[in-house]
Amino acid sequence: MSGDILNVTDLKKHFVIGQEGTIDRTPITVKAVDGVSFDLREGETFGLVGESGSGKSTVAYITVGMYQPTSGKMTYQGEDLFADPKGRSMEHKKEIQIVFQDPGSSLNPRQTINAILELPLRIHQPDKDTTQEVLRLLNMVDLPPEYMHKYPRMLSGGEKQIVAIARALATDPSLIILDEPTSALDVSVQGKVINLLIRLQQELNLSFLFITHDLS
């Protein structure tokens, strides 16, 4: 497994959504993910492609620790991500970040971009000057420094997603899960966001799990 950052083996997530029968009470389950295996090499992109409802987001949420898998194995640099039943280590939380499909709902509308970017910095980079770091993050994603004072509603869809990308970078991660990061955006800005991701991957040696329903 030399060079792999993430190994996923026979991953399953079955949601119990109800019960059938009055005596035996058989659980009714949805097999959202049913035996997924893949390996992601460090510094590379693994594309997870499937139609809507095929379980892509569920894999994403398991990878960042929002869900516990029903069964299967997931290791980050050889370390079991679900070894501790109490939850994920700070180190793994820092190293694995996510960008959600809909930037409109993933950014808190009541917070400025500064506050949105400060939160992960305060938790994971407490020794650093947060204002300097916020400015560095905005610069890294090509947004003007004055954007720190704006609210999400003042930004275009593409700009909001770029802020979500900057927030993912705030912890200085190694692996970013991109769950259909351009699906909610106008075609005209999709290419801009993809080019930004390619540049960031090269500059920061990031590994990407890129989720999409669009093979192209």
Positions in the binding site for Mg ion (CB under 5 A)? 56-57
Q: How far is the CB of 29 from ligand ADP (least distance, A)?
A: 9
Indicate the residue among 54 and 89 with the shorter CB distance to ligand ADP.
54
Q: How far is the CB of 27 from ligand ADP (least distance, A)?
A: 12
**Of positions 3, 27, 35, 53, contacts ligand ADP by CB under 6 A:** 53
Torsion of CA 99, 124, 83, 36, to 10 degrees: 10
CA distance 116 to 84: 29
Q: Which helix (H) or strand (E) holds 137?
A: helix 130-140
Q: How far is the CB of 15 from ligand ADP (least distance, A)?
A: 3
From 2-10, 54-62, 138-146, 188-196, span contacting ligand ADP (CB under 6 A)? 54-62
Buried b (16+ CB within 10 A) or exposed e, 37-53: eeebeeeebbebeeeee
Q: Which helix (H) or strand (E) holds 162?
A: helix 157-169
CA distance 136 to 130: 10
* Interacting partner of 52 out of Mg ion, ligand ADP, none (Cβ under 5 to 8 A depending on kind): ligand ADP
* Interacting partner of 174 out of Mg ion, ligand ADP, none (Cβ under 5 to 8 A depending on kind): none
CA distance 108 to 124: 19
Q: How far is the CB of 17 from ligand ADP (least distance, A)?
A: 5
Are the C-beta atoms of residues 179 and 171 closer than 8 Å to each other? no
Asked if residue 182 binds ligand ADP (CB under 6 A), the reply is: no
Asked if residue 58 binds ligand ADP (CB under 6 A), the reply is: yes
**Of positions 22, 52, 188, 216, contacts ligand ADP by CB under 6 A:** 52
**What are 142's two structure tokens?**
């090509």
Residues that bind ligand ADP (CB under 6 A): 15, 17, 30, 32, 50, 52-58
